[in-house]
Structure 1
Amino acid sequence: MDISSYVLLSQEQALRRKLDVAANNMANMSTAGFKRERPIFREYVERATEATPDLTRNTSFVLDYGAMHDASAGAFQATGNAMDFMIDGPGYISVEAPGGGTGFTRAGFVRTNEAGELTTAGGQRILGEGGAPIAVPVDQMANLTIGKDGTVQSGENVFGRIAVTVFDDERMVTPRGDGMMNGTGGRELGAAETRIKTGGIEGSNVDPIVETTQMVEILRAYQSSMKMAQDIDDLRRRSLDRLGKMG
């Protein structure tokens, strides 16, 4: 396999990666709090020996550098549950991740477990300030509310405040694969900085038209790459035929 085939192969691998990401975005267009991803690629330049002509000395390959999520907010979706909420601005809800540690999510479905602790729809405990769960006595459940600053209370009784964590560098936030994110270097917002909108949750920020257009462009680029590979193969075959006739 010559160098041109390796270059085309690197491009096709990048296109496959882009298609996988776009397909995953489309699959999660109805997932609460989902953030669309976009792949990141880097150029790898291979420098040939000094004996190679200047015009062909450098060869560029495509390297998969990972994916980064789009942190823009999705649309507010009313649920009819006064306890469901959406973060109005940057940040993530801190939750107790399966297996221990802290996970982060934008899906603001709120439920309670048998101990009266606030949980996500998946059963993970929602964490308050300082990383502690928020527990509510059973007799206070009926009048429970979440304030605009995340304060959980029933009448005059305050049971805690939902922690909203922001990351100055969104590259430190990575998907876990279970609907939550891992993150490092975050900081909890104070009450004055926290903005909560109740009565609904944040929808996915995936635009199906954009993703569909992206998938069509990827398929066209892949077809062009395959045609170029076929043209190179035909050129190689003709060259060998001519060399054979000269011999």
Structure 2
Amino acid sequence: MDVSSFVLLSHEQALRRQLDITANNMANTSTVGYKREQALFHEFVETVKDAPVEDARKTSFVLDYGAVHDASQGAFQSTGNALDVMIDGPGYLNVETPEGGVAYTRAGFVKISSTGELETSGGQRLLDPNGQPIVIPAELKNQVSITEDGTVMAGDGPVGRLAVTDFADENMLEPRGDGMLTGANGRMLGAAQTKLKTGGVEASNVEPITETTHMVEILRSYQTSQRLSADLNDMRKRAIDRLSRVG
């Protein structure tokens, strides 16, 4: 395989990666708190000393560097549940993982478990700034509200505050596969820095029309790459045919 074929192959692999990410975005259009992803690529330039002309000395390949999150905020989606919250601004709710660690989410579905603890719709316990679950007294389960700064009120007094963690580099967050994210070096936001909206959750920030258009562009780019590959193959065949006639 010659250099031109390697370049086209690297391009097609990049397009496949883009298509996978775009398809995943489309599949999560209705996923609460989901942040669309974008493929991240890097150009790798290889210098060839023995190229016949100066312009052919540098060959550009495409390297896949993974994906980055689009941190833009989704729209407020009313649910009718007074305990559901949307983070208005940066940050993630802290959630206890089955292994006992901490994960993060923007999906603000909140309910009270049978044991009186605040948890997500998936049954994971929500944590306070000290990494502890928030427990509601049994006699006050029908008198629970959440204020703008994340304070959980039961009756006339507070019983805890929802922890919200911000990350300077969103790209350090990794999906767990259960709607949660994991990451390190987060910064716990104080009450004055936390702003929640209650009675609803944050919708996905995926724009279906944009993703559909992107998918069409990827398909056209792939078709162009395939045509170039076919043209190069025809050129090689003609060259071999002409060389076979020499002498």
TM-score bracket for the superposition, by shorter chain length: over 0.9
Q: Report what 1:215 is aligned to.
A: 215
Counterparts of 1:86-165 in structure 2 under 5 Å? 86-165=86-165
* Shift, 1:52, TM fit: 5.0
Q: Which moved more, 1:93-102 or 1:32-41?
A: 93-102
Q: Secondary structure at the match of 1:122?
A: coil
* Shift, 1:235, TM fit: 0.3
Q: Secondary structure at the match of 2:142?
A: helix
* Shift, 1:161, TM fit: 0.1
Normalised TM-score (structure 1): 0.97
Q: In 2, distance between residues paired with 1:32 and 1:96?
A: 19
Query: Unaligned 5+ residue runs, structure 2?
Result: none
Counterparts of 1:1-40 in structure 2 under 5 Å? 1-40=1-40
Q: Report what 2:44 is aligned to.
A: 44
Matched residues, number = 247
Q: In 2, distance between residues paired with 1:52 and 1:133?
A: 69
Q: Which moved more, 1:98-107 or 1:190-199?
A: 98-107
> Aligned partner of 1:24: which letter?
N
> Aligned partner of 1:3: which letter?
V
Match status 1:82 vs 2:82: yes
Identical aligned residues as a percent = 59
Q: Which moved more, 1:113-122 or 1:29-38?
A: 113-122
Q: Report what 2:232 is aligned to.
A: 232
Normalised TM-score (structure 2): 0.97
* Shift, 1:217, TM fit: 0.2
1:62-111 deviation per Cα after TM superposition (whole angstroms, max 9, x unaligned): 00000001011101000000000100111000101232311100000001
* Shift, 1:194, TM fit: 0.6
* Shift, 1:112, TM fit: 2.0
Q: Secondary structure at the match of 2:191?
A: coil
1:169-190 deviation per Cα after TM superposition (whole angstroms, max 9, x unaligned): 2122222222111111111111
Q: Report what 2:203 is aligned to.
A: 203
Q: Which moved more, 1:52-61 or 1:137-146?
A: 52-61
Q: In 2, distance between residues paired with 1:177 and 1:12?
A: 27
Q: In 1, distance between residues paired with 2:234 and 2:245?
A: 17
> Aligned partner of 1:29: which letter?
T
Q: In 2, distance between residues paired with 1:51 and 1:193?
A: 59
Cα RMSD of the aligned pairs, angstroms, is: 1.1
* Shift, 1:11, TM fit: 0.1
> Aligned partner of 1:166: which letter?
D
Q: In 2, distance between residues paired with 1:91 and 1:206?
A: 18
Query: Unaligned 5+ residue runs, structure 1?
Result: none
